[in-house]
Amino acid sequence: MIRIACACVLLCVIAGPAAGQKKKIPEGFVPTPGQFAPFEKAKYYAGEIIQIDHVNRRAVILLDGDYNAGRYSGAPPFKIAMLPYGVIRYRGAPAEIRDFPIGTHVHGHFHLPPEGDTSIPKPTHQAFYVPKENHAILLEDDLSFYQRNGQTWKVEEMDSKKGMIKVSPAGKKAPHGWDGKEQITIDDSTRYWKGRGVAESKTVTVGQEIQLALTWGPLWQNKQFHVADIWLDEESQQVAAELQRQVHIRHQKLRWLAGQVDKVDHQGKTKGVVYVTLFGGMDASLYEEVRQAAEKGQGIDIAASEKTLLTWRPEYDKKGGPIIAIKEIKDPPFGHSGIQLKIQLAELLEGFRPGRVVRVRFPGWPTPLLPTGERAKSINARLK
């Protein structure tokens, strides 16, 4: 039986790719502008955020180590951008890329750049180290990732004097997640959270189930991490999520919900009806405000936006009108809220064409003058 097995293995090797032939890596998915890319075709990558361009929803990630010293020391940076409908989560709640502190370990699902998108330049050297899939459909920190997948960590050993903790996966095993076989370093910079406040390292006990947030460690290239945060109970995780949720709600009300134009019914002269699909990933309370406004037929405002979700001068160039219908879509694709609004406008703008990104303001939300650095600057971008 052993000889037969060996022969089969040898036969498979001989029948495989010819000598010198490179193994073909499946190509990623190219999103079509104006359409929602399938989440299941996205590729997973994880790493530490080392730079952020929060205005344009972009970041640079140091990919997780893979025992390759050459990649760790010589690879070009992995520059990423969020798709317009890309979802971001931090501390178990909806977020913006600006909410991630530098050093946050994140998990992302990525597609190739959309058709015609050359906004992220190709690396000029050692490009083989950098994933071609650089547009994120989902980006989340450790707490959000493991909570979503139903996994916690069981403490196997804890030694504050030696500066180490050993954990093993508990609950459901997260796909792509860290397996926890290596010990992780801790020190006085590690933060411990319990209930509504901070705790001490001595409150961690063997056998306890916890959640972790990892960050860079000196042996990063060998898949070894350092612990930035430890949540010791469910309440502390809920507190972290609620704090982040409130930051998120404030941000959205000041900058308005993003979506895309699906269709425009022209009614002569400047009038028309615009159909807008709101993007997903926002807090449920915001969508409830949308439904209430639609039920009352209230007037809302729409402002043209870039694919980065930047607007120009929404306080001046917004256009308003009543919601005349709302459509709830069952089982929407990832990044789609499941809500489409039908809005009557007395004046249409160039930025309201099908496939374009817009921001929508609902009753009671402010109309602030955003800082210059948070406004789109190129008028030509409206026509792209």
Instruction: Provide the residue ranges of all domains of the chain, joining segments of one domain with +.
Output: 28-147, 149-247, 257-383
The CATH T-level fold of domain 28-147 is: OB fold (Dihydrolipoamide Acetyltransferase, E2P) (2.40.50)
- Would the pLDDT of 143 be above 90? yes
Angstrom distance (rounded) from CA 362 to CA 289: 8
In terms of Cβ atoms closer than 10 Å to its own Cβ (0-12, 13-18, 19+), residue 185 is: middle
pLDDT in the model for residue 182: 82
- Would the pLDDT of 184 be above 50? yes
Instruction: Give the mean model confidence (pLDDT) for residues 200-222.
Output: 95
Question: Which CATH superfamily hosts domain 149-247?
Answer: Copper binding periplasmic protein CusF (2.40.50.320)
- The residues, ordered by sequence, that sit 6+ positions from 30 with a Cβ below 8 Å of its Cβ are 111, 112, 113, 114, 115
- Would the pLDDT of 19 be above 70? no
Buried-exposed string 232-269: b where 16+ CB fall within 10 A, e elsewhere: bbeebbebbbeebbebbbeebbebbbbbbbbebeeeee
Q: Per DSSP, what are the bridge partners of residue 33?
A: none
Instruction: Give the mean model confidence (pLDDT) for residues 58-63.
Output: 98
SS3 letters across the chain:
CHHHHHHHHHHHHHHCCCCCCCCCCCCCCCCCCCCCCCHHHCEEEEEEEEEEEHHHCEEEEEECCCCCHHHHHHCCCEEEEEEEEEEEEECCEECCHHHCCCCCEEEEEEECCCCCCCCCCCCCCCHHHCCCCCEEEEEEEHHHHHHHCCEEEEEEEEECCCCEEEEEEEECCCCCCCCCCCCEECCCCCEEEECCEECCHHHCCCCCEEEEEEECCCCHHHCCCEEEEEECCHHHHHHHHHHHHHHHHHHHHHHCEEEEEEEEEECCCCCEEEEEEEECCCCHHHHHHHHHHHHHCCEEEEEEECCCCCECCHHHHCEEEEEEEEEECCCCCCCEEEEEEEEEECCCCHHHCCCCEEEEECCCCCCCCCCHHHCCCCHHHHHC
Over the stretch 91-137, which tens digit does the pLDDT of each residue have?
999 999 999 999 999 999 999 999 999 999 999 999 999 999 999 99
Q: What is the mean pLDDT of the chain?
A: 91
- Would the pLDDT of 28 be above 90? no
User: In the structure, what pLDDT confidence band is assigned to residue 26 with cuts at 50, 70 and 90?
Assistant: low
Query: Same fold for the domain at 28-147 and the one at 149-247?
Result: yes
- Would the pLDDT of 195 be above 80? yes
Angstrom distance (rounded) from CA 36 to CA 39: 9
User: In the structure, what pLDDT confidence band is assigned to residue 21 with cuts at 50, 70 and 90?
Assistant: very low
Kindly report the CATH number that applies to the domain delimited by 257-383: 2.40.30
User: In the structure, what pLDDT confidence band is assigned to residue 317 with cuts at 50, 70 and 90?
Assistant: confident
pLDDT in the model for residue 378: 59
Token couple for 85: 């409908």
How many angstroms separate the Cα of 325 from the Cα of each of 65, 167, 262, 271, 294? 50, 52, 14, 17, 7
- Would the pLDDT of 18 be above 60? no
pTM: 0.90
Instruction: Give the mean model confidence (pLDDT) for residues 353-368.
Output: 96
